Amino acid sequence: MENVAPTIDLSGPSTSAKVRRTCLTLGNVIDPGQDTITKYRVDWGDGSFQEFSGSPAGLTHDHTFTDGPACHTVTVDLTDEDGTFANASNKEVTMRT
């Protein structure tokens, strides 16, 4: 059987004014196989990223963007027994002044 890449639901504000801070909520991980997510990486789209161990399901992470106005694509990579799956999900976040 061929491995199917896991995905994750992302939610949070799509725009942020003045504060340039956003909160990303990581939802359910969808992995059709018997694999377990062991780590994940959040790329904030502004040159910074954070790496975590364990599963991201149901967690939140805050980030402050240093530039603006700007549009950033936040991506999440997931790692399980079959490897790392880049861009398992993404979300556009626009910083306004």
What is the domain count for the chain? 1
Strands 15-17 and 83-96: parallel
Give 30 or 67, the one with higher predicted confidence: 30
Banded model confidence at residue 1, pLDDT cuts 50, 70, 90:
low
Convert the pLDDT of each residue in 56-91 to its tens digit.
999 999 998 887 788 999 999 999 999 999 999 999
Token pair, residue 69, equals 């106005």
| Domain that includes residue 28, residue range | 7-96
pLDDT at 31: 84
Q: Which of 21, 30, 23, 96 shows the shortest CA–CA distance to 61?
A: 23
pLDDT at 51: 97
How distant, in Å, are the alpha carbons of 11, 19, 25, 29, 70 from that of 58? 11, 24, 7, 9, 27
Can you give the CATH number for the domain in which 65 is found?
A: 2.60.40.10
How much is the pTM? Answer: 0.89
Is 1 contained in some domain?
A: no
- Tell me how far apart the alpha carbons of residues 93 and 97 are, in angstroms, rounded to a whole number: 13
Is 2 contained in some domain?
A: no
